Amino acid sequence: MILLNQELNFPDVRYATPEGLLAVGGDLSVERLLLAYRSGIFPWFNDDEPILWWSPDPRCVLFPDQLMVSRSMQQLIRQQRFRFSFNNEFAEVISSCKYVSRPGGEGTWITKEMMQAYIQLHQLGFAVSGACYIDDKLVGGLYGVLIDDCFFGESMFSTMSNASKFAFIHLIRHLQEVKSIQIVDCQQATNHLLSLGAELIPRKDFLNRINHIR
């Protein structure tokens, strides 16, 4: 684990711990965040911690053409109960990801500093969101970083069953259609993501797939 200074660089990801922790410190400037994602690195820390930078091996990813939509979700989509919106109310989506409680009472890692940084990325066109509504009420969504044909997912929330899945499916389909995205970085594997078609691949394979982005 390496301590960062004000220089805009990161150590080789091979120096990461077995858990994926690579470096500590630095800042959340636009320049550093974009360099991190282009290098296969992302920030993840709590309010009472310094900025922590991660690059786990293996990496959880989703290839858009392998997106899995269960029969129950297909039926839900056909019912048109939910409405999807792309890149509207970004601040509301990231705020909901921070404040909506999760199963088991798990806390959130999205600090106010993180929120401000990603809202700035959004204003510059590098962060996007997908939202799920019912009767014009925001009930689910997710956000992440979009660079070239790679989408780096950050967090999702849901106040209603299947709302985050609905938003995820529609966002990936939308980005595949308008941006021809080739890979979705899911960072860490969860049952939720695996059920949608995500898989684990070696970090070196992940880096090879994103090394063209600028």
Distance from C-alpha of 51 to C-alpha of 48, rounded to nearest angstrom: 10
- Closest to 185 (Cα-Cα) out of 151, 212, 208, 213: 151
Q: Are 138 and 97 in contact (CB under 8 A)?
A: no
Residue 126 and residue 193 in one domain: yes
Same domain, 155 and 74: yes
Say if residue 159 is in the same domain as residue 174: yes
Query: What CATH number has the domain bearing residue 13?
Result: 3.30.70.3550
pLDDT at 107: 47
Q: Indicate the number of domains in the chain.
A: 2
SS3 183: strand
Task: Based on the fold, state whether residues 73 and 144 are members of the same structural domain.
Answer: yes
Question: For residue 80, how many other CB atoms are within 10 A of its CB?
Answer: 7
Q: Kindly state whether residues 27 and 109 are assigned to the same domain.
A: no
Which mean pLDDT values do the consecutive 10-residue runs of the chain (214 residues) have? Answer: 92 96 97 98 93 98 97 95 96 95 61 96 98 96 98 96 97 97 95 95 98 90
Instruction: Look at residue 109 in the predicted model and tell me its pLDDT.
Output: 79
Shared-domain flag, residues 67 and 46: no
Q: Domain residues for 53?
A: 2-57
Rg (CA), the chain: 17
Domain match, 88 and 122 both:
yes
Tell me which residue of 213, 210, 212 sits closest to 40, measured CA to CA. Answer: 210
Residue 103 pLDDT: 56
Integer distance in angstroms from the first to the last C-alpha of the chain? 26
Write b or e for each residue in 26-65: b if 16 or more Cβ atoms lie within 10 A of its Cβ, otherwise e.
bebeeebbbebbbbbbbbbbeeeeebbbbbbbebbbbebe
pLDDT at 104: 47
Give yes or no: residues 71 and 50 share one domain: no
Could you tell me whether strands 199-201 and 59-62 are parallel, antiparallel, or unpaired per DSSP bridges?
Answer: antiparallel
